[in-house]
Amino acid sequence: MSRLHVVSGKGGTGKTTVAAALALALATEGRRTLLVEVEGRQGIAQLFETEAFPYEERKIAVAPGGGEVHALAIDAERALLDYLQMFYKLGSAGRALKKLGAIDFATTIAPGLRDVLLTGKACEAVRRKDKSGAFVYDAVVMDAPPTGRVTRFLNVNDEVAGLAKIGPIHNQAQAVMRVLKSPETAVHLVTLLEEMPVQETADGIAELRAANIPVGGVVINMTRPALLDNGDLDIAARGARTGIAKALSQAGLGGARRGGHADRLIDPLLEQAREHAERVELERAEHAELTALGLPTYELGLLPEGVDLAGLYGLARDLRRQGPI
């Protein structure tokens, strides 16, 4: 069973929401999870309706059955200073480095260092144990960069390990890579039933596999019920028009005669139905494409009013119901 869950997806597919729901879902029955954000947008704080959190792990939610969700927004600069402090006791030298612009260089310009620090911090949390030797977190869920960048992001340590052939950065990068390529890790991709996100999901899976990073499941987000399909439209096309006008009229929507209130509703209503049926067909095709990927899939319904805290708990429940992720 994986302990590091990396959640990615195309922009706009709701990966932060899914990551948060997953952290809640994994935190049942007294378990404890850590939800980490690596892109500094404070999206998690917004979701949990708390103020932006500083660079520290703090409890942000209690899951049903007494579990706990903790959260951390990882900041590359702070992670670097922490790292320097931890391994080199560089308190004041760290500050001096910062003054010189070295920290800026390391976290924004030096190739990959920033990503090494972010993935490194997450892996550290995965491996952290308490005094009794038990893991501090039962699972760590990472709200990762979008699909287009996630493989490079996770694989950065391989690249850096190749670049820095010896020394502590090399060792750190190797250690992180061992976690990321082990069965302890699972990368989940969030998608919508639309062409571009589905395509990106398929491409992302291929890239992850090529980099030997374990892929977990596909989360199909914001699904909507199909209210009508082409079969219904066929009926409408076969001249049920008068019948529909009568039905609308009977339901109190005005006169059924030509030009009457009910009659005037029919064209726009049928147009909407055609658009809906077209979308349903597209969604079926995309769904089939996702199924063909051969990975476990999970589905989460659209929350039309946006995601609030109650909605988030609901999504977590839904994920749990669909089996272990």
- Smallest separation (angstroms) from other proteins to the CB of 216: 19
DSSP notation for 14-30: -HHHHHHHHHHHTT-TT
Nearest residue (CB) to other proteins, 1 versus 109: 109
Nearest to 73 by CA among 120, 97, 105, 39: 39
Smallest gap, in angstroms, from Cβ of residue 127 to other proteins? Answer: 21
Tell me how far the alpha carbon of residue 69 is from its chain's centroid: 16
What is the Cα gyration radius of the chain? Answer: 25
**Cβ at position 134, least distance to other proteins in Å:** 32
Question: What is the smallest separation between the CB atom of 214 and other proteins, expressed in angstroms?
Answer: 24
Smaller CB distance to other proteins: residue 60 or 319? 319
Q: Give min distance, CB of 311 to other proteins, in A.
A: 6
Between 1 and 282, whose beta carbon lies closer to other proteins? 282
Q: Of 138 and 283, which CB lies nearer to other proteins in the complex structure?
A: 283
Which residue type does 135 have?
A: F
214 or 255, CB closer to other proteins? 255
Neighbours of 136 (CB within 10 A): 15
Within the chain, strands assigned E span 4-9, 32-37, 58-62, 68-73, 139-143, 185-191, 215-223, 297-301
